[in-house]
Amino acid sequence: MSKEKIKLSDYISTIWRTIKIANKNFKFKFWAVFFLGTIEVVSIVAAAYFGGNILGEVVKSIQAGQITAGLKANLLAEFGTLIIVNFSSSLQMVLDREVFIGWDKWFTMKLNEARVSLDLEFYEDRENQKPLNKIDRKG
């Protein structure tokens, strides 16, 4: 079974169309998910940075025989960063679900609009039942 090759321009066109549909139908939630994902990635990188600094400050604290101000500051920054990561991740999961539900409703409406536009003869033809059943099963 051979697979049809899809051109890069078709991928880009599909992505652009998807963004336009999402922007039109659920603008706030779509862009909020994008924004929260960006915050999450930046926060994860920051957490890794502060985690590395903590290791260095632990060595300095051991050498100094006391907890250094740098260790306290990096621990506080790491804690704050991890709170941001967890908060943005949790909120993003909720919004992801709502966007998914929005896409499902949009697709169902478009599918039903297309079905209503078909002639009755189309539904009566046995050969047309196969693709309709496939659409029903797989969306």
Query: 77: pLDDT confidence band, cut at 50, 70 and 90?
Result: very high
Q: What is the pLDDT of residue 139?
A: 59
Q: What is the pLDDT of residue 31?
A: 87
Q: What is the pLDDT of residue 99?
A: 87
| Residue 90: pLDDT over 80 | yes
User: How far does Cα 99 stand from its chain's mean position?
Assistant: 9
Which residue from 121, 95, 125 is spatially nearest to 26, judged by alpha carbons? 95
CB 76 within 8 A of CB 62: no
Which residue from 5, 3, 23 is spatially nearest to 102, judged by alpha carbons? 23
Q: What is the pLDDT of residue 138?
A: 66
DSSP 4: P
pTM of the predicted protein model: 0.63
